[in-house]
C-alpha cells in the first residue's frame, strides 16, 4: 500500500516509468481510524466503526439493512444460506463471472447453471434466462460486470413470476447506478466487495445488502455463527444460543476503521476513476471506429463507477502477444475470467444451459488496462498510445 502522494513506480530508460495494473489507494486517514478502533477497545466485529460504515451505506443505498462482512465471498455464502439453496437446487448465473458465486452454491450442494452473457455489457443475458428455469431453479444470480448494472428489472419480474430469489453479485458495483437506483438495491439480497482490487476497499471486506425486511433477523443469525447473539446484545433475549446454520461472517473493527476512511472519500475516488476511464474512452474511439478493437458499452439506464477499463481485441488478434508488447512498453495489462463452465470445478459442480458462444469468445479477447486512483491522466494517455502501437503491430 502506498501513501496517496508517493505512489512508487520503477524508473525506466528515458525517464518513463512502469504503469502497474493496480496500486491500492489509501486516503491517509486509515491510520488515524485504526488507532481509534484500538483505543475504542472493541476490535472484533460489530464495533463502532462497523456501525458507522453500515449506517452510512444504509443511508446512501436507502433500500434495506447492510451487514458488513469479511468479504464478498462470505456475503455470497450468506445470501445462498438465506435463499435456502439445498442439494440439487439450481442457481442461474453467468459463466463469465468470479468463482465465489458458484462456489457458494456448490458448498450447499446446489447446482450452478451457466448461461451466456450479452455481447454489449458482458452481463447475464436476460433474454436467455427464462429457458434456463426448471422446477429445480431457486435463484437468479446476475453480476454487475465492470460496475455496469445487470438488467435487474427483468430478473426481478422473472423471479416474481417463478417464485425465485434474486441474489446480485454486486462485488464491482459500489458507487454505480442502474435505473436511477444504486446498484444492489433491486435484488432480494446483494453482495459488495471491499477487496483491495475494488474501488473502495479495506484489504479484505464486503457487505451483504438485505433488501427484504423479513430476512434481516435470519441474516444476523447467519453472520453470528448461527446464534442469536445480536438479539441478545439488543436485550431482546436473555441469553444467546445456537439457533440456525451460520458461520463467522464479520469483519474486525480495524478493517471497518480502514473502510470508514475510504467511504468518506468514496465520491472523490469514483470521480477520479471516471476521469481516467474517459481518457481511455476518448483516446481509443478511433480504434473502435476502424474496427480494430471494441470499447466498453454502458447502456443509457446505467451510470457506472469506472471499476474497470477493458478493450476487446479483434477475433483473430493474438492476445498474449498484445499483452506482452504492452509489458515491454512498461504497461501492465491483464486478461480476465476463465469461463466457469470450462473450469475444473465448474465442470464438476455446474451445468450449462444453451450456447456459451459469447462467453467463450469474449473471455479470449478481453484485456483490462491499468486504472487506479494514483494514476495520472498523462499515464492513461500514455497507456492509450501504447495500446495503439500494439494494435497496429498486430495488424501488420
Ligand X SMILES: *Cc1c(COP(=O)(O)O)cnc(C)c1O
Interface size with ligand X, residues (CB under 6 A): 13
> Should residue 73 be labelled a site residue for ligand X when binding is judged by CB under 6 A?
yes
Q: What is the DSSP letter of 285?
A: H
> Is residue 169 near ligand X by the rule CB under 6 A?
yes
Residues 138, 186, 195, 368: which binds ligand X (CB under 6 A)? Answer: 195
Instruction: Confirm or reject binding of residue 206 to ligand X (CB under 6 A).
Output: yes
Does 100 bind ligand X (CB under 6 A)? Our answer is: yes
CB 337 within 8 A of CB 97: yes
Cβ closer to ligand X: 255 or 330?
A: 255
Which residue, 33 or 249, is less far from ligand X as judged by CB?
Answer: 249
Q: Where does this chain touch ligand X (CB under 6 A) — which range of 30-38, 84-92, 96-104, 120-128?
A: 96-104
Pair 367, 310: CB distance under 8 Å: yes
Is residue 168 a contact point for ligand X (CB under 6 A)?
A: no
264 φ/ψ angles, rounded to the nearest 5 degrees? -60, -30
Least distance from C-beta 260 to ligand X, angstroms? 17
For residue 92, CA distances in Å to 110, 118, 212, 284, 353 come to 11, 15, 20, 35, 9
Which residues, 6+ apart, have CB-to-CB distance to 43 below 8 Å?
A: 37, 252, 253, 254
Shortest approach of ligand X to residue 368 CB, angstroms? 12
Should residue 171 be labelled a site residue for ligand X when binding is judged by CB under 6 A?
Answer: yes
Question: Going by C-beta distance under 8 Å and a sequence separation of 6 or more, which residues neighbour residue 220?
Answer: 67, 228, 230, 231
**Residue carrying C-alpha cell 498484445:** 322
Burial 49-83 (b: 16+ CB within 10 A, else e): bbebbbebbeeebebbbbbbbbbbbbbbbbbbbbb
Out of 121, 193, 211, 363, name the contact with ligand X by CB under 6 A: 193
Minimum separation from the CB atom of position 163 to ligand X (A) = 26
Q: Is 72 in the site for ligand X (CB under 6 A)?
A: yes
Is 186 a residue that touches ligand X (CB under 6 A)? no
DSSP for 107-142, written as a single string:
HTT-EEEEE-B-TTT-SB-HHHHHHH--TTEEEE--
Q: Check binding of 103 to ligand X (CB under 6 A).
A: no
Task: Select 141 or 373, whichever has its Cβ closest to ligand X.
Answer: 141
294 sits near ligand X (criterion: CB under 6 A): no
Residues belonging to the chain? 396
Cα–Cα distance between 204 and 191 in angstroms, integer? 14
Q: Do 215 and 188 touch, CB atoms closer than 8 A?
A: yes
Are 171 and 198 in contact by the 8 Å Cβ rule? The answer is yes
- The verdict on 304 binding ligand X (CB under 6 A) reads no
The stretch near ligand X (CB under 6 A) out of 14-22, 65-73, 134-142, 159-167 is: 65-73
- Which residues 136-155 are close enough to bind ligand X by CB under 6 A? 143
Query: Which stretch, 94-102, 112-120, 327-335, 346-354, contacts ligand X (CB under 6 A)?
Result: 94-102
Q: Where along the sequence are the contacts to ligand X (CB under 6 A)?
A: 71-73, 97-98, 100, 143, 169, 171-172, 193, 195, 206
Amino acid at each position: 500500500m502506498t501513501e496517496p502522494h508517493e505512489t512508487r513506480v520503477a524508473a525506466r530508460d528515458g525517464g518513463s516509468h512502469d504503469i502497474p495494473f493496480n496500486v491500492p489507494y489509501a486516503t491517509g486517514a486509515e491510520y488515524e481510524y485504526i488507532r481509534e478502533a484500538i483505543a475504542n477497545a472493541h476490535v472484533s466485529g460489530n464495533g463502532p466503526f462497523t456501525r458507522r460504515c453500515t449506517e452510512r451505506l444504509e443511508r446512501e443505498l436507502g433500500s434495506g439493512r447492510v451487514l458488513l462482512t469479511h468479504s464478498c465471498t462470505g456475503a455470497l455464502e450468506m445470501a445462498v444460506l438465506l435463499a435456502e439453496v439445498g442439494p440439487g437446487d439450481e442457481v442461474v448465473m453467468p459463466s463469465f463471472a468470479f468463482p465465489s458465486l458458484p462456489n457458494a452454491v456448490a458448498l450447499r450442494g446446489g447446482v450452478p447453471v451457466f448461461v451466456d452473457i450479452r455481447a454489449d455489457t458482458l452481463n447475464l443475458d436476460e433474454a436467455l434466462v427464462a429457458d434456463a428455469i426448471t422446477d429445480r431453479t431457486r435463484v437468479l444470480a446476475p453480476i454487475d460486470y465492470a460496475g455496469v448494472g445487470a438488467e435487474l428489472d427483468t430478473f426481478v419480474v422473472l423471479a416474481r413470476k417463478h417464485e425465485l430469489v434474486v441474489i446480485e453479485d454486486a462485488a464491482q458495483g459500489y458507487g454505480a447506478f442502474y435505473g436511477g437506483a444504486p446498484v444492489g438495491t433491486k435484488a432480494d439480497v446483494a453482495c459488495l466487495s471491499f477487496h483491495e482490487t475494488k474501488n473502495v476497499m479495506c484489504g479484505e471486506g464486503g457487505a451483504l445488502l438485505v433488501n427484504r425486511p423479513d430476512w434481516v433477523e435470519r441474516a444476523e443469525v447467519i453472520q453470528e455463527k448461527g446464534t442469536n447473539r445480536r438479539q441478545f446484545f439488543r436485550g431482546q433475549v436473555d441469553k444467546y444460543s445456537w439457533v440456525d446454520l451460520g458461520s463467522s461472517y464479520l469483519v474486525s473493527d480495524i478493517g471497518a476503521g480502514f473502510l470508514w476512511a475510504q467511504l468518506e472519500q468514496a465520491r472523490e475516488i469514483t470521480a477520479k476513476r471516471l476521469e481516467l476511464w474517459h481518457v481511455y474512452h476518448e483516446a481509443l474511439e478511433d480504434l473502435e471506429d476502424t474496427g480494430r478493437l471494441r470499447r466498453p458499452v454502458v447502456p443509457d439506464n446505467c451510470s457506472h463507477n469506472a471499476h474497470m477499463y477493458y478493450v476487446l481485441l479483434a477475433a483473430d488478434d493474438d492476445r498474449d502477444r498484445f499483452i506482452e508488447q504492452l509489458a515491454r512498453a512498461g504497461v501492465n495489462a491483464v486478461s480476465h475470467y476463465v469461463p466457469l463452465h470450462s473450469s475444473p470445478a465448474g465442470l464438476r459442480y455446474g451445468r450449462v444451459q444453451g450456447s456459451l458462444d459469447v462467453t467463450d469468445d469474449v473471455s479470449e479477447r478481453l484485456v483490462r488496462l491499468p486504472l487506479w486512483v494514483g494514476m495520472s491522466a498523462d499515464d492513461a494517455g500514455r497507456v492509450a498510445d501504447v495500446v495503439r502501437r500494439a494494435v497496429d503491430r498486430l495488424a501488420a
